[in-house]
Structure 1
Amino acid sequence: MNGNQDWALRAPPSAKLERMEAFFGGYGFEPHRHDTYAIGRTLAGVHCFHYRNSMRHSLPGGTIVLHPDELHDGEAGTNAGFHYRILYIEPALLQQALGGKPLPFIPEGISRDPRLYAATQTLMQGMECTIDPLEEDDAIYDLAQALALVAGARRGRKALDYQAAERAREYIHSALDSTITLEELEQASGRDRWCLSRDFRALYGTSPYRYLTMRRLDHVRSLIVAGQTLTEAALIAGFSDQSHMTHHFCRAYGITPARWLRMLRCHGTVAPT
């Protein structure tokens, strides 16, 4: 780390989730929301963020649990900055363990529950650690169960059609570079479009359109890390132009794609171009 210069480090690629470690010396990122859970741990300093209309303060020893599609930002609580690890996990992975139940919700955004802290130990290893596939699967299962236990049951939900929602999600993945309509998802899933839209949100934490946009942004990040220009990456991933992509990138991650790339280069994760 160079003084208070912001940096970010990504873990070795995984087919199932993304792990990162970062340092911010002051203001971290603008209000944004993504369609994954963000499960984190503050290693040093005070990590402050607005979440559900309140300012939260994450200190070492707790677990950050940001629900999909919940607006949040991030900044340092002291002049020393804050250092943290975070993993982004798609609700679809947790559903493999939850079996089609509504997603667990931690309303405060931070938990001191030791069960959740213990369940995240494997996934919170240093970025230099490569997690074996079977170990990763076990850790994801443990995380899903711990989230469900800590959050408790959510009542008042109508029955959800998990299989139909999963068919719609798979269809989205098969047509990332196409214009997808709700009518197409209805046909692919065999479920009435409005019931499908409700179930999709409950099971995966976001709308079908947002899910599609986030998968395109995942593709953009892979492309620019590999050396594609922002314009090229935007078009390849299915956005109309760079401006359209940047708008969605900022809304999803709270920083511009150019700044995100600079932070990775600062720590040597991406070679300078």
Structure 2
Amino acid sequence: MAKCPPRNDWFQRAPDVGGVQRFEAFFAGHGYNLHRHDTYAIGQTLAGVQSFQYRGGWRHSLPGGTLVLHPDEIHDGEAGTESGFHYRMMYIEPALIQQMLGGQPLPFIQTGLSSDPRLFAATGVLLRSLDAALDPLEEQDALFDLAQALNTVSGVTRARQSFDYVAAQRAREYIHSALERNVTLEELAQHSGRDRWSLSRDFRLLFGTSPYRYLTMRRLDRVRALLIQGQPLVNAALIAGFTDQSHMTRQFSKTYGLSPARWLKLQGR
């Protein structure tokens, strides 16, 4: 029997809107090295088997289910069969989920996979098509429904912890104002009105990652935007607040599982 000709990897990204990044991709074999990011990664496998390492084991996503990767959890991605895998995914800032849930520990799906139809339906609205933007009100309703579905389906009962959402939010806003310079935990504590170790704990609980990781990720967001605009790697690194290009490249590869050069190639650049 003749083998099917190899298919090329491809990646299509929709315009970022309101803290949500959406994309569609196909990988014939290996997709991503082990990496982590500080957003939720929520999506659906459209065809094939999407295999990945997550929380100490291999997971296999099939059409009809939902992937929910928690912020800052290490994972990778590859085809589970020779036919490759086709999927749509979105990255959602934990701060958005916080706004809809009123400031509480982030919902957590332990295995990274769910067969719950409520979560599949809520995710499907946001991933229905990347070719046309959703109506703003439709998108906001869909995000609210997704947050509620995540909270309901998470199935993890956690004891109520004492935390200061207002202080953590002040620290998050301060980070956004200081991307181009060094920021200390003492600075964040002074600005937020919370002692530094309580603030560090609260930040992780409420936003899914540490203050330093959050700062690094926002810098990498800026790097990607600058690269899309055509800036050279070295310029993008310095403008975004990294010490040099090699520092940025290390952080980029650790975060996305791809080098900046391969990421740009997948964008068609």
Tell me the TM-score normalized by structure 2. Answer: 0.96
**Counterpart secondary structure, 2:166:** helix
Aligned 1:155-234 pairs, distance under 5 A = 155-234=158-237
Q: Could you report, residue by residue, the CA deviation over 1:44-89 in whole angstroms, capped at 9, with x for unpaired residues?
A: 0000000001100000000000000000000001111000000000
**Overall identity of the aligned pairs, in %:** 65
Aligned to 1:251: 254
- Bigger drift between 59-68 and 143-152 goes to 143-152
Displacement of 1:15: 3.0
**Counterpart secondary structure, 2:124:** coil
Confirm or deny: 8 A CA contact 2:51 2:59 kept in the other structure. yes
Q: Distance in 2 between matches of 1:68 and 1:159?
A: 21
Choose from 150, 154, 165 the match for 1:151.
Answer: 154
Q: Write the letter of the residue equivalent to 1:251.
A: K
Displacement of 1:132: 2.0
- Bigger drift between 155-164 and 65-74 goes to 155-164
Aligned to 2:141: 138
Tell me the TM-score normalized by structure 1. Answer: 0.95
Aligned to 2:109: 106
Q: Distance in 2 between matches of 1:132 and 1:90?
A: 20
Choose from 25, 42, 47 the match for 1:22.
Answer: 25
Moved over 4 A (4+): none
Displacement of 1:154: 3.4
Choose from 12, 18, 32 the match for 2:15.
Answer: 12
Confirm or deny: 8 A CA contact 2:50 2:80 kept in the other structure. yes
Displacement of 1:160: 1.4
Q: Could you report, residue by residue, the CA deviation over 1:1-42 in whole angstroms, capped at 9, with x for unpaired residues?
A: x95211110012313210000110100010000000000100
CA RMSD of aligned residues (A): 1.1
Q: Distance in 2 between matches of 1:149 and 1:158?
A: 19
Q: Distance in 1 between matches of 2:229 and 2:126?
A: 25
Q: Write the letter of the residue equivalent to 2:38.
A: D
Mark the CA change 1:136 to 1:215 in structure 2 (over 3 Å): closer, same or farther: same
Q: Could you report, residue by residue, the CA deviation over 1:215-270 in whole angstroms, capped at 9, with x for unpaired residues?
A: 000000000001001111000000011110010011110000110110110xxxxx
Choose from 82, 91, 97 the match for 2:85.
Answer: 82
For structure 2, the 5+ residue unaligned runs are none
Q: Distance in 2 between matches of 1:106 and 1:31?
A: 19
Confirm or deny: 8 A CA contact 1:100 1:160 kept in the other structure. no
For structure 1, the 5+ residue unaligned runs are 266-271
Q: Could you report, residue by residue, the CA deviation over 1:177-223 in whole angstroms, capped at 9, with x for unpaired residues?
A: 11100011001110011000000000000000000000000000000
